[in-house]
Every structure is written in C-alpha cells, then in structure tokens.
A = this chain, B = another copy of it.
Amino acid sequence: MKKIEFFKKKSFLIKNLFPKLKFKNNFKVNGIRSLEKSKKNDLTFFDSIKYKHLALNTKASLCITTEKLAKFLPQNVEKIVVKNVMSELTKILKAIYPEADIDYPDLTLKSPIKNKFKSVKFSNNVLIGNNVKIGKNSIIGANTIIEHDVVIGNNCTIGSQVVIKNSVLGNNVVIQDGCKIGLKGFGFIPLKDNNLKIPHIGNVIIEDNVEIASNCTIDRGSIDDTTIGKNSYLDNQVHIAHNVKIGSNCMIAGQVGFAGSAAIGNNVSIGGQAGISGHLKIGNSVKIGGGSGVIKDVKDNQVIMGYPAVQLKEFIKNSKK
C-alpha cells in the first residue's frame, strides 16, 4: 500500500540544518527514512552494528551515525558523526517535522460532505479531516473521527468512537468500537524533568481483510511504519507499539501486547495476554501460548509458552516439577 506523508515538512538545505559541518554537496533534505527505505536526498540514521547489512546498501544521501559505524556506509553518503544518534535524530526530526512529536488534535474535522463520499454510509456525528479518502460501500460508526489524509479502502466497517489518524487501510477491513489507531508511539529521550519527545512520522498500514476488535491501540511508526498484514485478526484490547510488523493470517487474542519494532511472521497465533518484547523477530507459523512473555527471537514453526517463553514441551515439564 502507498505510504502517505501525513506531517507538514519544513524544507532545509543540509548546510542550514548542520551549520557547523562541512559537506561535499549541498541539497534539500527530501525526507527522513530508514536505511532500507531511503532514496536520494533522504536523511537516514545508523545506530547499531545489527543493521550493518542495511547500511552497506543504503541509498540515503545523508546519515546520522557514530564514529565506529560510519565506515560501513557507502562513500558517497554524507555522514553526521555524533555520540548519541537518537538524540541528534530527534532534534532533526523536530526541525523538519515540527508537528509530529505530539498528537495535536486535527482542527480540520468536519461532518462528512455527502457528495464527496457517495457510496459511504455514515452513522451520526462522524468527523472527517481534510483530504480523507474512503472507498466504496464502507460504513463509519457514530462519533468516529477520521483525521486528515487517512485512506480507507472499499467495504470497510469502522465502528463507533474510533479514532484513525496517520493510517492507510486496505479493503474489507473491520475495526470495532473504541480503537485508537495511528497515534504517536512511546518514544522519547529521557531528560530530567522534561523528556525530549521523538517525533513520529511513520504510518499505520492495515492490509486487506484485517479485523481489529474493540478498544485496541495501534501506534504509528516512528520513522518506518507499523503494519498489520492481510487477513490478520486482533481480539479486544490488543496493544501494538510503534514500528511493529505483523504478518498475514495471524490470530492475536485479547490483551496481547507488542513492544516497539517487534516483527511477527505469517500464520502466527498468539494466546491472550501474551507479551512480545521489543525488536524481536518471530518466525512464520509460530504458536505462542496465552500469558507468555517472549523475550528472544523465535524460529519458524515453534510452539512456545511460558514466562520467559520456552518450547511448549519444556513448559509442561517444568509445570509438573
């Protein structure tokens, strides 16, 4: 699905953005993207040896990184060498996207104009921001808020008292009452008495046929996106942090929580109240028992349970001790 730019962007020449540094070239920063997704004139960041393989091939023109890591970047990439990558990145994000660090309520909301959404059904008191797109035969529940620039596909059913912002939804998506989708994630640089909030410029991408039950919260990505793959179903009160990737055909039971940047494969089933730690990679066709706390990567086809989660057989054996 097409990524949308939801946030106002200020235009900077790199020499103005980093006045104390010298660059071989000068150009306008196009946007801030991950090592993998950056293109020419994009600024990216590289803060862990874990991403060396992506750094080696980045197409970015400018990269915030450390002295140790700089050597892995292609020669033509302009390097901003700093001690604390996230802190520097946060400052630059705030300069370029000044309105992405807090979820400022959308002041463009209005009642939907019927001519614009001819085949969409709206229940009462729906509020729609500027430039929202909603596909054919979709239906939107009462008191629901769809903020500016959101894209909703065909045949979607959005419940009541939902908020959707910074998100792109495919076709046949069902979102039940009370969900909050596309909000800023839990990201900040801790500073005594006044943390520095990390602007979140990513999207939430929800693919076709996804169903999301009531009162779930799905945060948008920070730089990259949060994605829910085709035909995955989420039960009530699931919490999905920023940058999480969920594959297709997954079943996520009630009150499951995913910490930031967890990547879940396809055909994964997760029992109620399980928690997945941040930055983990869960393979395809994994089954995770209810209440589990997953704190390590999991290979394809594993069946795990426990806190910390282990092979199901081991969990059963331990429980009998």
A interface residues, Cβ below 8 angstroms from B: 102-107, 109-110, 121, 123-125, 127, 139-143, 145, 157-161, 163, 172, 174, 176-178, 180, 183-184, 186, 188, 190, 192-195, 197, 209, 211, 213-215, 217, 219, 230-231, 233, 235-237, 239, 241, 248-249, 251, 253-255, 257, 259, 271-273, 275, 277, 290-291, 293, 295, 306-308, 319
Contacts and interface: CB of A to CB of B under 8 A. Distances in A.
18 contacts: A102-B174, A105-B123, A125-B125, A163-B177, A183-B214, A186-B253, A193-B249, A194-B209, A215-B215, A215-B217, A217-B236, A236-B239, A255-B275, A259-B272, A273-B293, A277-B290, A290-B295, A291-B307
Given A104-B157, A105-B160, A176-B183, A259 B123 contact: no
A158 B103 CA distance: 9
A127 B124 contact: yes
A199 to B, nearest CB: 13
Contacts of A139: 104-105
Contacts of A236: 180, 183, 186, 217, 219, 239, 241
B193 A217 contact: no
A242 B82 CA distance: 44
A159 B105 contact: yes
Contact of A160 (B141, B145, B160, B257): B145
Contact of A254 (B142, B193, B257, B307): B257
A214 B217 contact: yes
B106 A231 contact: no
